[in-house]
Amino acid sequence: MLQGWDWKARKLLWTVTQREASSFVLFTGEGHLALRSPTRKDAVALLDAKTGKVVRQVKLPCEWLTAARVVEDDVLLCVGYNTLYRIDCRKGTLLDRCDLEVTEGSDAIAFSADGAYVASAGAAGLTLGDTQDGRAYRALATPSPLTRCAFSDDGTRMIAGDDAGRVYVFAVER
């Protein structure tokens, strides 16, 4: 369930019920909400943040999306089944897609703030790749499987963690 609230008035404005949880919810540049569609497993929905109504849906050839980020020009980057999708949020169209070289047993995906780079964390460690072609340009092994990863705001560092509570910080060389 996703709800829109007016926090000043402490009033519920709208509710969207979903059959399954969305793996992401984020704002687009136009102020819409982007999330996995509440009515279709194979689509990304763009909702009006004020009313909760679906403005556009973009059908994808995949039912599971693990990560997403809106970058400049209102382009949504999202990953599903090791494929990177680029969606134009203003037009509601799929721009392109490419295969993504990810870490074996990947549990987490993260995008740099500018959308230029993608990281995957998993059983074999951390893999850094380019979002233009999906190719990995660096793989870093860790002694235990990683379950989370994130880029610093300036994109110069990565942080990753495992279930044992260990945290790793890596410099990102471009």
pLDDT of 7 over the 90 cut: no
Query: Contact, 118 vs 84, CB < 8 A?
Result: yes
Query: Contact, 41 vs 4, CB < 8 A?
Result: no
What's the pLDDT score for residue 103?
67
- Give the model confidence (pLDDT) of 114-172 as tens digits: 899 999 898 888 999 999 998 998 888 888 899 999 999 998 999 999 988 999 998 88
Is the same domain home to 81 and 120?
no
- Give the model confidence (pLDDT) of 10-50 as tens digits: 999 888 887 666 777 888 888 888 887 767 777 888 888 88
What's the pLDDT score for residue 20?
63
What's the pLDDT score for residue 21?
67
Query: Contact, 119 vs 109, CB < 8 A?
Result: yes
Query: How many domains in the chain?
Result: 2
Is the same domain home to 112 and 94?
no
User: Percent of the chain, pLDDT > 90?
Assistant: 22
pLDDT of 59 over the 80 cut: yes
CATH of the domain at 57: 2.40.10.480
Domain span at 4: 1-99
Among the three residues 99, 131, 158, which one is the final residue of a domain in this structure? 99
Is the same domain home to 79 and 131?
no
What's the pLDDT score for residue 149?
93
Closest alpha carbon to 100 in 125, 120, 123, 83: 83
Is the same domain home to 5 and 39?
yes
Is the same domain home to 110 and 70?
no
Among the three residues 67, 99, 131, which one is the final residue of a domain in this structure? 99
What's the pLDDT score for residue 160?
93
The secondary structure of residue 77, as a DSSP letter, is: E
pLDDT of 73 over the 70 cut: yes
Is the same domain home to 70 and 132?
no
What's the pLDDT score for residue 174?
67
Is the same domain home to 9 and 59?
yes
Among the three residues 99, 128, 159, which one is the final residue of a domain in this structure? 99
Its pTM surpasses 0.85: no
SS3 content of the chain, % helix, strand, coil (to 5): 0, 55, 45
- Give the model confidence (pLDDT) of 103-125 as tens digits: 676 778 899 988 999 998 988 88
